[in-house]
Amino acid sequence: MSQGHDLPVYIRIADDLHTRIRSGEPPVGGMLPSEASLVRSYGVARGTVRQALAELENLGVLASEMGKGRRVVGETAGGRGPIAARYEAIAQSLRGQIEGGSLGQGQRLPSEEALADQFAVSKGGFPHEREHRFQAAGFRLSAVFS
């Protein structure tokens, strides 16, 4: 699993699974291991695994099949890149806007929905209480999205 310790665990798990899927393991059309198996493999709670899987479903990489599990439906090598990189891109964009003066102190940040659309991440992917700490190039930004 990736070592981005500032990222939520579910994002690191989603990145790891995405990397494995992009390398063909499991192949498109294949089934992902069960949630219970992933819980054991990663040593996390079922909810954490479900959040990671939801990220991949929102990206169109996985599809849930009632009573069967999750099937790989997209993205092999050459896909859109790690999920964590998309969150880092958001942080860098916001940092650029702040440093460039287009986002001043006290101004509202773009909505979560706008950022999710712009950067191809799931709207529900922003962590608990709709608050997330982004870190880009040593800059820490704490933001609450409307």
Residue 38 pLDDT > 70:
yes
8-32 pLDDT per residue, tens: 999 999 999 999 988 888 888 889 9
Domain 83-144: which CATH number of 1.10.3470, 3.30.160, 1.10.10, 1.10.860: 1.10.10
Domain range summary for the chain, segments of one domain joined by +: 9-72, 83-144
DSSP class of residue 31 equals: B
Question: How many CB atoms sit inside 10 A of residue 72's CB?
Answer: 22
- Structural fold of domain 9-72: Arc Repressor Mutant, subunit A (1.10.10)
92-116 pLDDT per residue, tens: 778 888 888 888 878 888 887 887 7
